Each structure stands twice: as structure tokens, then as C-alpha cells.
Amino acid sequence: MATSDYAKALGNRLRDIRMQQGLSLQGVEDKSGGKWKAVVIGSYERGDRSITVSRLAELADFYRIPVSELLPEGVPLPVEQAEKIVLNLEALYDHPDSDLEHVAKLARSIQQRRGDYNGRILSIRADDLYTLAVVYSTTPSGLIEKLEDFGVLVHDLQAFFASDSE
């Protein structure tokens, strides 16, 4: 499935949520006090315009639903081989860049779902990596590169844990 197909599926989901809430495009603009322009929401819904992670989160807040509810279910994401990655939770949670906010939220959610509170590392499975990549409007490999740049990935678990014993 092409990226534009996924954008259209995401747009359909956005439209479904808006309509479930009984809002027209103009109704969204009116209810938001002009923060969300009808033409912009319409272009997101048609898949003509990409939505950034921060705007998707803001739209979810506006609709008062979790971001995950805006993502289309059962729609294959753009094809790219994804790998499992390991996050350094200390580095992630202490990182000052707000760009990592959604990664941190997802990590906390995964920890809660798994009951995994070791507090040091967390493996992120391919499906979660795909979801994050969509939220950040990138590919899984693009997201991995971004996370590497931020210094929040663990590449060598033995070296990571060996640094504790020194």
C-alpha cells in the first residue's frame, strides 16, 4: 500500500470521528474558535495534506480522544521492513526535546500494558514502530534515524548493562 493510500485511510478515520461527533467541517472551525480551519481539516480528511505528529495530537485533544483512535485500524502501513528497537528509557524520559513527547507517551503506555517497569530499557515491536512512524510522518527507518540522533536507542545491550557495573 502506498503512503498516499495510508494518508487517505487516516483521512477517512478523521472524517468518521468528526461525523460521529456531529460536526461539519465548518462546525469544527466554529467550535475550535478558528484554530482548525475547515479547509485544512477537509484536506487532512481527503489525504491531500500530511498531518504532523503535534497537529494530530492537538486534533485528538480537540476531539477528546486518544491519538491511537485517530489511526485507521486494519489498514496495512506503507511497506517497509521494520525491526524491533530498544529504547533507553532514562535517556528518553530525561531528554529535553519536546519532539520526543509522543515516543515517551507510547513507551509509558507499553510499559503499563506489559506491566514492565524495569525503568531502564524497553523493546519496541515492529507494529509500535510503524505506528510511531505514522504519527511522525516518516518511515520506520526514518524514525529509527531520528531516535539515534536523539541518543535514545540501545544498540548493544551487553555494553549498556556493563556500563552499570563499572
Choose among 141, 146, 64: nearest CA to 102. Answer: 146
pTM for this model (two decimals): 0.50
Please state the rounded mean pLDDT for residues 78-104. Answer: 80
Q: Which residue has the cell 472524517?
A: 15
Q: What's the pLDDT band for 164 if we cut at 50, 70, 90? A: low
Residue 85 has pLDDT above 90, yes or no: no
Residue 17 has pLDDT above 60, yes or no: yes
Q: Which residue has the cell 519496541?
A: 124
Task: Write out the H or E segment, with its range, that includes residue 124.
Answer: strand 121-124
* Average pLDDT in the chain: 82
| Dihedral (Cα; 93, 104, 101, 34), 10-degree rounding | -150
- Cβ neighbourhood burial of 77 (10 Å; 0-12, 13-18, 19+): buried
Q: The C-alpha cell of 127 is what? A: 507494529
Q: Which residues of 125-156 are buried (b: 16+ CB within 10 A; e: fewer)?
A: eeebbbbbbbbbbebbeebbebbeebebbbee
Residue 150: predicted pLDDT: 92
Please state the rounded mean pLDDT for residues 55-81. Answer: 74
| Dihedral (Cα; 41, 53, 101, 85), 10-degree rounding | 150
| Distance set, CA 73 to CA 44, 61, 76, 119, 124 (Å) | 17, 19, 9, 30, 19
